[in-house]
Structure 1
Amino acid sequence: MATPLEDIIAKAIKDADKSFFNEDYTKQARSVMNALKKAGYEVAPVRPPEGLVEWAKENIPFGRLRPAELITQMYSMMVENVRRFDK
């Protein structure tokens, strides 16, 4: 079973900053983002950034794919590239 996201986030914050005063929230946030990425997650907007859908259309995998395979590949491709267009 995968580690719950809350546990990943809590551990990342705990490990990032040991201070009791003047916590470095940017350091904590960076640690959370890195921990999520390491666990196989990506933080992405609910709606695709402008340009991502067009880019994905132009990069659809060629060949015969079952619908589930196509959707899985498209999802992964779009999530992996969301940072390119999220500006």
Structure 2
Amino acid sequence: MRIQLIRSATLRLEYAGKRLVIDPYLAAKHTMPSYAGKSLNPLVNLKCSPNEVIEGADMTIISHLHSDHFDPVAQNLLPKEMPILC
């Protein structure tokens, strides 16, 4: 098993030959309001492009539907045929 922290709650998990993306929050730094609406999020840049985060993913897991766990960027980038478990 391999777990990689991408940013905030966003993780990549590789297990049994499968790659999962967990809580994809892929917006650029300071382009979204925080969940409470008091500041701009995300607080840091991604270390790679949003496409690289989801590249090769077999499935997405979303822990809950707050905007900082599944943002519009991720919603638009994830392949429509990719299974999503929430």
Please classify the TM superposition score into its range, dividing by the shorter chain length.
Answer: under 0.3
TM-score by length of 2: 0.23
TM-score by length of 1: 0.23
User: Whose strand fraction is larger, Structure 1's or Structure 2's?
Assistant: 2
Question: Which protein has the larger Cα radius of gyration, Structure 1 or Structure 2?
Answer: 1
